Chains A and B, each alone.
Chain A
Amino acid sequence: DAGVTQSPTHLIKTRGQQVTLRCSPKSGHDTVSWYQQALGQGPQFIFQYYEEEERQRGNFPDRFSGHQFPNYSSELNVNALLLGDSALYLCASSLIAGGAGGETQYFGPGTRLLVL
């Protein structure tokens, strides 16, 4: 049973650059959520994609954008990188049940982004 995969595992960028992170959900899952985790903090919700559309968004600026493909995989794009964007970016997948929320989310290994 294939779990959630993410690429790349590590990334180093400079301020002002753009980055794209990728995620493939767990087999059988149709929903992808993205989180940012700064050192010593809990994950912060960025947005969630279902049926190729952004379903819900957290308190992140428009520099953060995403996409979901027909095979349920997803990308997170961050433009105009800031030093404060340095963090572990986590992808979590889930299966929409009744759509009422609260579906269990399973995390990928994460992408560690360092902005210099």
Chain B
Amino acid sequence: QKEVEQNSGPLSVPEGAIASLNCTYSDRGSQSFFWYRQYSGKSPELIMFIYSNGDKEDGRFTAQLNKASQYVSLLIRDSQPSDSATYLCAVEEGQNFVFGPGTRLSVLP
């Protein structure tokens, strides 16, 4: 079974700073990678996905993928208190996703 690892945190950053969230995965053959945000007591909501090596930007979010090193990261620029949540990394395995345990991010005003 594929494994996906994330630092559980909490990761604390001041408002306006860049938050960097990292994820490593075990299967070198993985092709699709997803970042979800989950507020306490709520369900995961999709932030973005990435398939190709390099960077992919969407507003304040940038996903970075390095297949050779088997890691994917999410950068959040100009972090806001509303970004405080658990961030889940997901890697496709056949027809489903394998999720990491999530990193709890706290943005301090």
What is the interface of chain B, defined by CB distance below 8 A to chain A?
A: 1, 4, 31-32, 34, 36, 42-46, 49, 51, 88, 90, 92-102
Contacts and interface: CB of A to CB of B under 8 A. Distances in A.
B32 A107 contact: no
Interface string A4-36: 000000000000000000000000000101010
Contact of A90 (B31, B34, B44, B96): B44
A66 interface: no
Contacts of A33: 95-97
Interface of A: 31, 33, 35, 40-45, 48, 50, 55-56, 58-59, 88, 90, 101-102, 104-110
A102 B92 contact: yes
A43 B92 contact: no
B99 A42 contact: yes
A107 B96 contact: no
A11 B95 CA distance: 28
